[in-house]
Structure 1
Amino acid sequence: MTNMISEWVRCPVCGNKTRLQIRKDTELKNFPLYCPKCRQERRI
């Protein structure tokens, strides 16, 4: 069994952790990322 390390996605505006975690093999394209702290949505 391999141990997959995941990491929190950070907001590009304020740098705060969002509610998403990604792994090294994750690919996002035109994903709407919402930040609960600054209440903005950005496409990443």
Structure 2
Amino acid sequence: MQTEFIRCPICRNKTRVQIRDDTELKNFPLFCPKCRQVTLINITQFKITVIKEADA
């Protein structure tokens, strides 16, 4: 199984969340510890789609 950290879609830094190649997320609130923003994302097979930027 291949794993990798999710990168923030705003600042492109690593977050604290790891995903595997079979992971699917829908409407996931991703928090970035560096830019301190929350972004709603969908993930399927390492492809990240930003839904909208939520106000934190």
- TM-score, normalised with respect to structure 2: 0.71
Unaligned runs of 5+ in 2: 42-56
Greater share of residues in strand: 2
Structure 1 runs (4+) deviating above 6 angstroms are none
Q: CA RMSD in A?
A: 0.4
Of structures 1 and 2, the one with the larger relative CO (CA 8 A, separation 6+) is 1
- TM-score, normalised with respect to structure 1: 0.90
Equivalenced residues, count: 41
Unaligned runs of 5+ in 1: none
Fraction of identical pairs, as percent: 71
Greater Rg by CA: 1
